[in-house]
Structure 1
C-alpha cells in the first residue's frame, strides 16, 4: 500500500472546494460532467490529499461521524487564517501524546484537525 486518499461527501463540491482553498489547500484535480456541475475535486496541502464527492441522492451527510486529521510541520498562524471562516472547536498547546492541535468545523460541519510538534 502506498497511500490513503480519504473522501468526504458534500452537498456542493464547488462550494467546498472554494472554502478549502481559502484556508490554504490547493485543488489539484477536478471532474465536471456537462450540465451537472463539479462532481469531484482533489485537494492537497503539501503531500496530504483528500477528495470531495457529491452527497448521494436521498442521503444526509453525517458530518458527526467523519473528519480529517492532518499532521503538519507547523500550525503557527493557522488560527488567524481560520478566523471568520471556520468554527474553532479546540486549540491544544500540548496533547497527552505530545502534539499541538487546532480542531475546527469546515463549511459543512466536518471536523478537521491540524496537528504539529509543539513549538
Structure 2
C-alpha cells in the first residue's frame, strides 16, 4: 500500500499563489477547483512531491509563518543562482551540521521554502 502526505496550505489568493509557484519555482499545477470564477483549491507537483493550496489563508508580515516547506534539490547552488534575483532570500546557500547544502527563500505569502541537497561524504 502506497502512502503519501500532501500538505495543504491556506493562502489568501490561490490563483496568484499557483501562478507564482509555477512561473517562479517551476511547479506544475495538477488539479484545481473553480467556483464562481474563483480558484479556491489547487494541487501542485514539484518532482515527486505535491502540495495543495486552499482558500481562506491570512496575509502575514511575520518573519516566519506557521509552516515551512522543505524540498530536495539535485543542485542547490545552481537553483539558488537561477532564483536569487527573483525571490526574497532568507538564507543564502550554506552547509549544515546535518549534512545538507541549503538555502531558504520566502514564497509570495511569506512561507519559508528550504531547498536542500545532501552533501558528498
1:80 aligns with 2:65: no
Deviations 1:39-75 (A, max 9, x none): 111111110111111125xxx3566221111123322
**Structure 1: 4+ residue segments shifted above 6 A:** none
By how many angstroms is 1:76 displaced? 3.5
Scaled by the length of structure 1, the TM-score of the pair is: 0.85
User: Is 73-82 or 105-114 further displaced after alignment?
Assistant: 73-82
Match for residue 43 of structure 2? 42
Q: Which runs of 5+ in 1 are unaligned?
A: none
Give the aligned CA root-mean-square deviation in angstroms.
1.9
8 Å contact kept, 1:100–1:117 = yes
Q: Which runs of 5+ in 2 are unaligned?
A: none
8 Å contact kept, 1:55–1:61 = no
**Residues 1-119 of structure 1: pairs in structure 2 closer than 5 A:** 2-22=3-23, 23-33=25-35, 35-55=36-56, 60-61=58-59, 64-118=65-119
By how many angstroms is 1:36 displaced? 4.3
Partner SS, residue 30 of structure 2 = strand
Scaled by the length of structure 2, the TM-score of the pair is: 0.84
By how many angstroms is 1:3 displaced? 0.6
8 Å contact kept, 2:76–2:93 = no
Partner SS, residue 65 of structure 2 = helix
Partner SS, residue 76 of structure 2 = coil
- Report the count of equivalent residues: 115
